[in-house]
Structure 1
Amino acid sequence: MIRFSPTGKVFRIWRRFSSLSANTMPITETITDTFRTNELDPVNHKKDHDGHFYSISQTIKKQLFAGGGLPKEYKELSDTLNGLSIMVRKPAIELITYLNKTNFDAPVTRFVLYGKTGSGKSVSLAHILHYGSSAGMVLVHVPWVPNWVRFPKGCTPSAIHPNKYDHPIESVEWLRHFSTQNGPLMQKLQLQTTETYTWSKREMTAAGSSLSELIDLGLNRAKYATDCVAALLGELKKAAVGKRCRVLVVIDGFNAFFSPKSRVRREDKSFVLPTEFALTDAFLSLTRNDWNNGAIIVSVDAAAHPSELRESPLPRYQLGKQGFEHLDPFIPIEVPNYNEKEFHSQIDYYIERNWLQQPKARTDRGRAELSFTSGNHPLSLMKLVAPY
């Protein structure tokens, strides 16, 4: 059996369906338009939108996710289907409801998304990023912490902090990501530094300088980029407390900060601990609840840890004692597999976009087999209907 993608390329369809007889499986159209919502502003998403897809414009996609934030498979699929759509799911609705009712004068509330790898935590965080941007909040977003811990592009001993290590390349990339996500808002807010930062005998950032100057220094001088990130996060905390802005912190794979080791080695070949990274100190400081006028949303995922620490997806196990105590108290929110309504919406979406063209997928029996084979697991379903 063959099928065609929206771009006209030929792919092989999932072979299991070819063994089912058309005589025993009458093909009946089951797709409807009820799997989409016209409410494109995530601030307004509520229970009525559960299980529905909403579309994100190309402009917003470039602003929010050009530097990461969408799982690789999900991004590639959205590129192939010529449009980014996100399903409104219960975990995101719960978060949006909490955020809409939050007392921002109180210390920041911390939320922890958890669930099996591939259940949709990163996509839920992407939904919340869009919410924060639409609500006019300054976004502090780390797309995937393990990229810093397990696959760093380069680490160097810190010139300022003894026994600490910097991520020059990753810090420059993160500052660029921050600027892309918050550029127009930062120009409007006109936030300034509250203290003087001395980088060397000749270089300094004076108190009262625009935060954009701080960011530009980090972008142009990788040697100071990690310390510029730390300074920026500290200034954002102060600005939030002073009610000059509202900050939304979104970190995917947060438990990687507490992994037992990284892949960075010292000269003596011993491993550097993630807690010895200057970036770790900066983001752990930001995720304490010693400030207000903001919110902190993180995810924990078994894939963020080495293979020997993947027995349970629960926050207590993934964070470990140190990480759990750092975030406690927090509100845990589980991201489960698809329920029946979400599963059928996802199949309807694949069919509507001509990604799943096998006619038997439109029958109750065909869908039942897809549901059974994938276990309603979002990533498994995506791989199941993908081309070979």
Structure 2
Amino acid sequence: MTLKFEPVRLDDGAGALVVLDQTLLPSQTHYLRLCTLEEIWEAIRQLRVRGAPAIGIAAAYGAYLALRNNPDWGQGARPGWPAEVDSLFAAAKNRLANSRPTAVNLFWALDRMEGRLNALRSEAAGGASAGTAWRAAILAVLRDEAHAIRNEDEAACRSIGEHGLSLLKKGWGLLTHCNAGALATARYGTALAPIYLGQERGYGFKVFAGETRPLLQGARLTAWELGQAGVDLTLICDNMSSIVMKSGKVQAVLVGCDRVAANGDSANKIGTSGLAVLAAHYDIPFYIHAPLSTVDLACATGADIRIEERPPEEVTEAWYAKPMAPRGVKVYNPAFDVTDASLIGAIITERGIAYPPYGESLGRLSRA
């Protein structure tokens, strides 16, 4: 599959994270060049880069660049591990971890970067190299680990697509929510990966994309990227999902996920749980697509998932030329909801398809 865009990439020569600003889509295709920790934090927080896997990739590169672009450590001939690197990395990790609370990939990627740094320190115990040599070694392993996170995500998404496609039939109507496509990952996407692969192989899917209020990720992002791929796509308002399902136009609902609890409860963009209830009512299979980096076995159930709440202006003013609600009205704006495991037909991962009971199947796939 040839894509005309890349949501996140490293320009190491310039010391910059290059991010497609998704807040400007579909009207503008504009890439940001982010060099500082604060710029990367702001890009994640303000949804310039979004989607659980893409957030993890951006955070990994952000942690690397925080050290790479700081010249005040690891200099000179003093031998031994540069003590200041630990505090600098910890500060970068803590800042990036505070950008968004729900997507577990963010924390997974930062923990993985920290683990690689700790492993290098252990390997280096007692070494007598000068500070400049340590600086080069530290930056090399952090850069390589961030690259690995990105490349592994691309491979995982391709595999999710293959497994997901095995559950679908040619000519089916598919309903999606939010954007779980190439914009949200290294490539292919999670829930959209089977659609891309089906498009390549002549499956002739007819896709219905819910607009996904209040930030319109379905209308702005999913419609944009699937349109570029030539997919047969129809945009609907979120409150049209029931009539589309009832009319027999939808044979499966495909969604991504930001965190899967050990029991299979899954947090995804607000409105996902409502779609799952409708799908169950109309006896339509409802499938979650997520890499295993999104599965949080330390989180027992969906009740333990912290739900991000975002600014009220996203409901009352964003995307409108004029305010669309009375000034001062109270607004509740959770970014995610949790779909009960009982409503999920399968959770599709890069290592295979998990079926209920998820406490057993997810654990088995995670250990594979």
TM-score, with length taken from structure 2: 0.32
Select the structure of larger CA radius of gyration. 1
Bigger relative contact order, structure 1 or 2, given CA contacts below 8 A and separation 6+?
1
TM-score, with length taken from structure 1: 0.31
